[in-house]
Amino acid sequence: MVHEDEIVQIVQSIWMSILGLGIVADGTNSMQERLSGRRTLTACVHLTGAFEGATLVFCTARLARRMSSVMFETPPEALSVEDVQDALGELTNMIAGNVKPLLEGSSRLSLPSVVEGLDYRMIVPGSRVLSQVGFECEGEPLHVTIVQREAPPAPA
């Protein structure tokens, strides 16, 4: 199990060292209502091996563009859609890479996948939530969720 305080420490460390942006855990796990009606990006990095699951990061398009602008040292308006998706995917990969040693056994990370849209739901079928933490960065919500594949039922 990955504890919420470990996720908070990982995310805050990455945000400060890579982005130089403050980010605070806000104790909100109700991601749906915080992102409802807002253009949202979700990045997902799967873990396979001894641990089967995924790390997902959900944030507003506005925050994703701001983080990308800082990462690429480029004005927000000069960034392409692919730049923004790439930056969020890489940040999610960093989070997953820091979560991986907290899990038992050896696991590998997939390449990040990123989806963008309005009022959608992102799920990893056959998984259950292990940990989730809501954050706020520059007034915008960000949500990190760790899921684990549920064991298939034992044969009868």
Half-sphere exposure of residue 112: CA atoms within 13 angstroms, side-chain side: 25
In contact, 44 and 118? CB cutoff 8 Å: no
What is the CATH architecture assignment of 4-148? 3-Layer(aba) Sandwich (3.40)
pLDDT digits (tens, 9 = 90+) for 111-126: 999 999 998 888 899 9
Question: Domain spans of the chain?
Answer: 4-148
pLDDT digits (tens, 9 = 90+) for 25-66: 987 666 667 788 889 999 999 999 999 999 999 999 999 999
**Exposure b/e, 18-54, CB count within 10 A at least 16 = b:** ebeeebebeeeeebeebbeeeebbbbbbbbeeebbbb
